[in-house]
Amino acid sequence: MTPTPMVDSPATVDAATQHRIEQFLYREADLLDAFELEAWLELLDEDITLRVPVRTARHPGSERPEFSEESNYLREDYEMMRERVGRLSKEYAWSENPRSRVRHVIGNVRVLDVADDILTVANNQHVFRSYGDTADHDMLSAQRHTTLREAGERYRITDRTVYLDHSILNTKNLTLPLL
């Protein structure tokens, strides 16, 4: 997938489909905010790939892509995410002890492509995270491209690329609930 997050030409879907997609993304955000990661895993297809490519600094008019095609902060398949979820659920998960407080704000949801039972969706998000009893906090801003497959009355996430707005991350870690 060539990273081109800002050059989207939306597809047309009916209002009911748009509403279902938005409700799905809001429910996913609620699960991540509540650290209900086992339930979140149930939204994922077992063939999923999750990518967070590194943003590259480039000069205007440069031929270089805005996002690296080789380097990623994360590149995970289902098994790797299942393993991470298992580790995060343990009391000795030091990266989440004490547990982060996370809040997703999802917006600007657009359907980019429709092909049979596969939808490609883009959305913007801000993710706030605070931890411990300090004033420290993180704010991540990104655009996500998500491929959804209809599975009966629900959707399954089959692919996701998270295009962070940051070229340098100022966060202690990049954990699944932030994406």
pLDDT single digits (tens) 24-65: 999 999 999 999 999 999 999 999 999 999 998 777 777 888
Q: Say whether pTM exceeds 0.75.
A: yes
Q: CA–CA separation, 144 vs 52, rounded Å?
A: 9
Percent of the chain with pLDDT over 70: 92
Q: Is 177 helix (H, G, I), strand (E, B) or coil?
A: helix
Q: Is the pLDDT of residue 6 over 60?
A: no
Percent of the chain with pLDDT over 90: 60
Question: What pLDDT, on the 0 to 100 scale, is given for residue 36?
Answer: 94
Whether a cis peptide bond, with omega within 30° of 0, leads into 98 is yes
Q: Is 70 helix (H, G, I), strand (E, B) or coil?
A: strand
Whether residue 110 contacts residue 122, with contact meaning beta carbons closer than 8 Å, is answered with yes
Q: CA–CA separation, 100 vs 116, rounded Å?
A: 39
Whether residue 4 contacts residue 163, with contact meaning beta carbons closer than 8 Å, is answered with no
Q: Is the pLDDT of residue 137 over 80?
A: yes
Q: CA–CA separation, 26 vs 95, rounded Å?
A: 25
Domains of the chain: 15-178 (3.10.450.50)
Whether residue 145 contacts residue 120, with contact meaning beta carbons closer than 8 Å, is answered with yes
Question: What pLDDT, on the 0 to 100 scale, is given for residue 168?
Answer: 85
Question: What pLDDT, on the 0 to 100 scale, is given for residue 127?
Answer: 94
